[in-house]
Each structure stands twice: as C-alpha cells, then as structure tokens.
Amino acid sequence: MKRKIDIVVRGTDWIGLWSGRFLSLLVLLMMGIILYEVVLRYFFNRPTTWALELTTMIFGVYMMGGGIYALLVDGHVRMDLFYDKWPSRKKALFDVLTFPLFLAFFCILLWKAAAYGIDSFVMAEHSKTAWSPPIYPWKMSIPVIVLLMLGQGLSNFIKNLHLLITGKAL
C-alpha cells in the first residue's frame, strides 16, 4: 500500500514540478509578444490589435498555473507568525486539520470553473474585441488547472499525514 501511495505522490509532484517549469516559459513568450508590439507601435507606427489581449490570456494561465508549483514548494502565503517556529510534525498536524477547508474550496471552484468553461465551449465564445479570438480554450484551462491544484493539494495532504503518523517525510 505504501508503495502505491508513494507512486501517486511522486507522480503528482512530478506533474507539479513540470507544470511549473513549462509555465515559467510563458513569461518568455509574453515578453516576446510585448517586445513585438512595442517595436511595431513605436518604430513602425503599426500597432497590433491582438498583442495586449493575447498577453492577458497567457498571463491568466501563467498566474493560475503557478499555484500548482507554489503548492508543491510550499510557496503560498500564510500567517507565518507562529507556523515557521513550529516543528515539522506540528506543521503537518496543522496542515492536515486545515485540509478539509482546502478541499471544500477547490471542489466548489472546480465545479464552478467546469461549468464556466463548458458553457463557453458550447457557445464557441469569442472575445468582443476587434481581434475577436476564441476564448473558450482559455476558459477551459481554468478547470484543468484547478484539478491539477487539487491533485497537488491531495499529494501534500498525504505527505503531511505520513509525516504526522510516522515522524518521517514521505
């Protein structure tokens, strides 16, 4: 049983690590798009109609997806006044006790995000700008990211529970 749990935790953590690495490359893509827009706008007086909107869409995915990696490396903000001074088992106990709040929030978020994305997909939603790109792929990315965050949170819960019970990190 421990072996199966270890495989699930390692697999989930691997996904979190590689999603963070992939999403970090989106910063370079956004920089390239903005550079392209600036050069066209200020040197050739030919601004684009799509650069700002595309950069905003990419940034949304980057910010939401970054939460997966932040969960993996314990990078989310918390009230560190007491938490940082606690021993690892006490931190694990606190994290295990607060996990139901995390689970409830992300399950509701997944439910609402899935409905939001599916509605957008069904009506083949497009932006109401001059460029008018399809935005349903971006809206469909929200439930996928929430699902991955839920998986990473579950992995963290399993690691904390193991530490709490055995006193050893998984």
Residue 143 burial (CB count, 10 A): 19
Nearest CA-CA partner of 71 in 169, 153, 131, 168 = 153
Structural domain range at position 56: 2-166
Tell me, what's the pLDDT at 3? 83
> What's the pLDDT at 74?
86
Sign of CA dihedral 34, 35, 40, 43: positive
> In angstroms, rounded to a whole number, what is the distance separating the alpha carbons of residues 92 and 73?
15
- Look at 21-30, 74-83, 144-153 and tell me which has the smallest mean pLDDT: 74-83
pLDDT one-digit tens code per residue, 45-99: 999 999 999 999 999 999 999 999 999 998 887 777 888 888 999 999 999 999 9
The reported pLDDT for the residue numbered 75 is 83
Average pLDDT over residues 154-162: 94
Comparing CA positions, the residue from 170, 164, 41 lying closest to residue 91 is 164
% of the chain residues with pLDDT over 70: 99
CB burial string 48-65: b at 16+ within 10 A, e below: eeebebbbebbeebbebb
Residue 147: the pLDDT is 96
Count Cα atoms within 13 angstroms, Cβ side, for 20.
17
**Number of structural domains in the chain:** 1
Instruction: Answer whether 96's CB lies under 8 Å from 161's CB.
Output: yes
Q: Looking at residue 100, what is its pLDDT?
A: 97
Give the span between the Cα atoms of 154 and 102, in whole angstroms: 9
3-state secondary structure at position 134 = strand
